[in-house]
Structure 1
Amino acid sequence: MRAGAFVYPWDVVGDPAAPGLLADLGLASVTLASAYHSTRASTPRHPAHRIVTAEHAAVLYPPDPARWSGRALRPYEAGEWAPGDAYGEAAGALADAGLAVHTWVVLAHNSRLGAERPETSVVNAYGDRYPWAPCIAQPDVRAYLVDHAAEAAVRPGAAGTELESCGWYGLAHLHAHDKTAGVPLGDRAQYLMSLCFCPSCRRGYEDGGVAPDALAAAVRGALEPVWAGGPVGEIGAFGEIGAFEEPVLAWRTRTARALQESAVAAVRAAAPPGFRVLLHADPVPYRCGANVGTDPGHVLAVADGVVTPAASVGPFGRAARPETVLAANFGVVTGMGGSPGTLAEDAERAAADGATELRLYHAGLASDADLASVAAALRALG
């Protein structure tokens, strides 16, 4: 299977050895960030730095002034962590090393947008805003994300794109000095804490026959035993909230599908023939986050394929067509919970579930020992 790895521009810019090192691993492609959220990242091999702090969500290239002139919502330019056209400089160096370059575009995850324009954020059932999570039900947010996707995806020389967070974002979020783990929240509680009650979402619930105030009260009531230290429970285990389950999920699913369909269409309209569009996706529709919840049959009819955690390949494999791209995503950074030493065996299992390609997270963050294990695994896989 063809293998690609995720990389940031700052892993490459200023390090002449980086493109050759990546090519020598046996990679066929690199998924290079062109629009990314705030982060603090290590650069274990870079000759000029060891820690890069990306202070806010930004595009890593100069945005088109004509596209964004006069618009209230527009992408932020990067600071010193990715000055000028950092994406373009890195992409050129990687292409010169023989690697196909795909853009990596983060969409509905932007803490600076939420801080400066709080009305754009998801609001939970308690009235708390999530500034990292733009609400995709809001028309202005959706229009911004669609145009942002087209510009950030279709960069010069790119062979395709991978759209992350192209759907609902919710409670789960790696955050500075996070203090939210005192009460464990299971899958179901995470979903309830991710339901949005901004004005657009409240209108959406009403259109589906659900009274938003009653829904919010039911969510708070369902979560009360959890905050008190009781069992988290499973799907369907929260009493009166069950009456709202189907119409709420149906409306959220329609909203996410509308964004995905519009974003993919906008990218394809801007892209040259043969440009591949993949979505980072989860096969469970109510999931939120970087890998957005989808229905496998629907998303594979919209996009050319998906990037999904290796354990989630199976449902997509059962819905795939012969030309579908199913990229199984593996963590290969041992310090972040990855298992590069078992990559070859794990990849074979993913292939049996239908995976056609591999994605490795993350070549820039990995240690030399991790990368040696990756190279050995890719040689073993042929």
Structure 2
Amino acid sequence: MKASAFVYPWDVVGDPEAPARIAALGVEQVTLAAAYHSTRALTPRHPRHRVVTAEYAAVLYPADDARWRGRELRPHAAGDWAPGDAFGTAAGALADAGLEVHTWVVLAHNSRLGAEHPHTSVVNAYGDRYPWAPCIAQPATRAYLTDLAAEAAVRPGARGTELESLGWYGFPHLHAHDKTGGVGLGDAGQYLMALCFCPDCRQGYGRHGLDAGDLAAAVRAALEPVWRGAPSDGGWPGVEKLLGEETAAATRAWRDDTARTLQEAAVRAVREAAPDGFQVLLHADPVSYHCGANAGVDPAHVLSVADGVVVPCAGGPGLLEPFAGQGRADAVVAANFTVVSGMGGSPGTLAADARRARERGATELRLYHAGLASDGDLEAVRAALAAL
């Protein structure tokens, strides 16, 4: 199974030993961040630093000013954590070590966008904005995300891309000093808290026969027992129970269509900008109403649009089956495993986990994250890949 390790440019730039160390893991490919959200990251082996604080969502290469000139929504250059063409510098060093480089592009997850342009954010039924979550129904936001996908994905030397957060982002979001775990919303409650009521979404609900004001009131009423401690039933039947089957179906129809058409537009834009043979994958969850970095998708649809998917497998390989079951022999179904013990990963069981994933239809592996992992974690990865 082909394996790729996720890497940040700051893991490589300024550390001449990093490319060979990553290649020695036994991976053939790296998935290198080209556009990324704000983060605080360890660099446990870097000769010049141990902690990198990326203060805001940024592109890690020089953006094309001609593309973005005069536009309200445009990407920001990174600060001193990834100055200049940090992506290009890292990509060149990794390629020199014999590694195939693919871009890692984070799209609809951008707190700076929400802070500077509040109208672009998802607005829940209570009127609260989610500044980390751009509403993907808004035309200007869709145009921004589509152009960003094309520019950030197709960097010099890259052989493919992986598009993260290409869909709805919802309520869950790691935030500074987060204090949101006091009430267990469950799967159904998370969906209701993800429903957006910005002007574009309100119009969208109307096109599906719903009055947005009545829908917002229904969401608030449905959630009231949950705030008081009542359990939130899991899965889509729980949403139907809270909202009613017809209303729930209408909200999902609006959101599913919005996400599908954005995915189509973004992949098409990448293909138009890319050379022949350029691979396009989406980080994806096979349940279309789910939100987050692994965007909820319809498996049949997404595999008709992209070359494949990267699927989270930290909780087991079950999410692979809906994609593998489509019978697309040419599709990439990459199983994504966390290999950082301190982040809940289990690099020591990687070989066994990979074999189970292959039995469920995985064709490739993704390893999160070569820059964050300890020396012991990396040694376990090397042993696992050698065993495979």
TM, length-normalised to structure 1: 0.99
Q: Deviations over 1:282-332 (max 9, x none)?
A: 000100000000010000000000001122111100014111001100010
1:86 aligns with: 86
1:281 aligns with: 284
5+ residue gaps, structure 2, are none
1:160, 1:277 within 8 Å by CA — same for their partners in 2?
Answer: yes
Letter in 2 for 1:319: Q
SS in 2 for 1:183: coil
Shift of 1:240: 3.9
CA distance in 1, matches of 2:191, 2:242: 15
Letter in 1 for 2:278: F
Assess, with a 3 A threshold, how the Cα gap between structure 1 residues 279 and 240 changes in structure 2: closer, same or farther: closer
2:259 aligns with: 256
CA distance in 1, matches of 2:119, 2:242: 31
Q: Deviations over 1:79-134 (max 9, x none)?
A: 00000000000000000000000000000000000000000000000000000000
- 1:138-177 → structure 2 map (5 Å cutoff): 138-177=138-177
CA distance in 2, matches of 1:25, 1:126: 48
CA distance in 2, matches of 1:101, 1:249: 36
Between 223-232 and 135-144, the greater mean CA deviation after superposition: 223-232
CA distance in 2, matches of 1:307, 1:253: 19
1:303 aligns with: 306
Q: Does 1:339 align with 2:346?
A: yes
Report how many residues are paired.
Answer: 381
Q: Does 1:64 align with 2:51?
A: no
2:184, 2:231 within 8 Å by CA — same for their partners in 1?
Answer: no
Q: Deviations over 1:154-212 (max 9, x none)?
A: 00000000000001011011111000001112111111100100000000000010111
Q: Deviations over 1:63-90 (max 9, x none)?
A: 0010001111000110000000000000
1:236 aligns with: 237
CA distance in 1, matches of 2:205, 2:102: 37
SS in 1 for 2:98: coil
1:321 aligns with: 328
CA distance in 1, matches of 2:242, 2:375: 51
Shift of 1:243: 3.2
- 1:1-382 → structure 2 map (5 Å cutoff): 1-234=1-234, 235-237=236-238, 238-310=241-313, 311=317, 312-381=319-388
Between 360-369 and 304-313, the greater mean CA deviation after superposition: 304-313
Letter in 2 for 1:372: E
CA distance in 2, matches of 1:86, 1:320: 39
Letter in 1 for 2:307: D
Shift of 1:231: 1.1
1:103, 1:160 within 8 Å by CA — same for their partners in 2?
Answer: yes
CA distance in 2, matches of 1:57, 1:138: 19
SS in 1 for 2:122: strand
CA distance in 2, matches of 1:182, 1:356: 39
CA distance in 2, matches of 1:353, 1:319: 12
CA RMSD, 1 decimal: 0.8
SS in 1 for 2:113: helix
Letter in 2 for 1:336: M
CA distance in 2, matches of 1:281, 1:347: 18
SS in 2 for 1:181: coil
